[in-house]
Protein backbone atom coordinates (compact mmCIF):
# COMPACT_ATOMS: atom_id res chain seq x y z
CA UNK A 1 0.00 0.00 0.00
CA UNK A 2 1.28 3.45 -0.93
CA UNK A 3 1.72 6.05 1.84
CA UNK A 4 1.61 9.62 0.53
CA UNK A 5 2.65 11.06 3.90
CA UNK A 6 5.88 9.03 3.97
CA UNK A 7 6.53 9.92 0.33
CA UNK A 8 6.18 13.64 1.04
CA UNK A 9 8.45 13.37 4.08
CA UNK A 10 11.10 11.81 1.85
CA UNK A 11 10.60 14.75 -0.54
CA UNK A 12 11.38 17.16 2.31
CA UNK A 13 7.93 18.16 3.53
CA UNK A 14 7.91 19.25 7.16
CA UNK A 15 5.36 17.97 9.67
CA UNK A 16 3.88 21.48 9.60
CA UNK A 17 3.31 21.30 5.82
CA UNK A 18 1.88 17.78 6.11
CA UNK A 19 -0.52 18.99 8.79
CA UNK A 20 -1.47 22.09 6.80
CA UNK A 21 -2.42 20.01 3.73
CA UNK A 22 -3.61 16.91 5.60
CA UNK A 23 -7.05 16.64 3.98
CA UNK A 24 -5.77 16.97 0.39
CA UNK A 25 -2.91 14.54 1.06
CA UNK A 26 -5.27 12.02 2.69
CA UNK A 27 -7.77 12.24 -0.20
CA UNK A 28 -5.02 11.86 -2.82
CA UNK A 29 -3.52 8.92 -0.92
CA UNK A 30 -6.92 7.21 -0.81
CA UNK A 31 -7.48 7.73 -4.54
CA UNK A 32 -4.03 6.37 -5.42
CA UNK A 33 -4.52 3.26 -3.29
CA UNK A 34 -8.02 2.64 -4.68
CA UNK A 35 -6.63 2.70 -8.22
CA UNK A 36 -3.62 0.52 -7.37
CA UNK A 37 -5.72 -2.05 -5.50
CA UNK A 38 -8.46 -2.10 -8.12
CA UNK A 39 -6.15 -2.60 -11.10
CA UNK A 40 -3.85 -5.58 -11.05
CA UNK A 41 -0.49 -4.62 -12.45
CA UNK A 42 -1.01 -0.85 -12.06
CA UNK A 43 2.23 1.03 -11.42
CA UNK A 44 2.64 4.43 -9.80
CA UNK A 45 5.05 6.18 -12.17
CA UNK A 46 5.34 9.57 -10.51
CA UNK A 47 3.81 12.44 -8.60
CA UNK A 48 4.33 16.11 -9.43
CA UNK A 49 3.72 18.55 -6.60
CA UNK A 50 2.82 22.19 -7.16
CA UNK A 51 0.87 25.00 -5.57
CA UNK A 52 -2.03 26.85 -7.14
CA UNK A 53 -1.16 30.10 -5.36
CA UNK A 54 1.89 32.07 -4.25
CA UNK A 55 1.05 31.67 -0.55
CA UNK A 56 1.28 27.84 -0.92
CA UNK A 57 -2.14 27.34 0.65
CA UNK A 58 -3.60 25.27 -2.24
CA UNK A 59 -1.45 22.25 -3.00
CA UNK A 60 -1.91 20.29 -6.22
CA UNK A 61 -0.79 16.75 -7.07
CA UNK A 62 -0.45 15.41 -10.59
CA UNK A 63 -0.38 11.64 -10.28
CA UNK A 64 0.85 9.39 -13.10
CA UNK A 65 -0.35 5.78 -12.82
CA UNK A 66 0.23 3.29 -15.60
CA UNK A 67 -2.57 0.75 -15.87
CA UNK A 68 -1.98 -2.78 -17.07
CA UNK A 69 -3.64 -3.26 -20.44
CA UNK A 70 -5.36 -6.61 -20.69
CA UNK A 71 -6.49 -8.27 -23.88
CA UNK A 72 -10.14 -9.27 -23.70
CA UNK A 73 -11.25 -12.16 -25.92
Per-residue pLDDT of 52-65, as tens digits, reads: 999 999 999 999 99
Position 47 in a domain: yes
Position 71 in a domain: no
Residue 69 clears pLDDT 70, i.e. is over it: no
Position 73 in a domain: no
pLDDT score, position 53: 97
Domains of the chain: total:
1
Q: Which domain holds residue 32?
A: 4-66
Taking CB atoms within 8 Å and a gap of at least 24, the contacts of 4-9 are 4/28, 4/29, 4/32, 5/29, 7/47, 8/49
pLDDT tens by residue, 9-54:
999 999 999 999 999 999 999 999 999 999 988 999 999 999 999 9
Position 12 in a domain: yes
Position 10 in a domain: yes
Position 24 in a domain: yes
Position 72 in a domain: no
pLDDT score, position 71: 46
Rounded to two decimals, the pTM is 0.87
Amino acid sequence: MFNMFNYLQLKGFSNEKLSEHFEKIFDTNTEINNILMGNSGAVLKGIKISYLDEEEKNIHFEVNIELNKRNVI
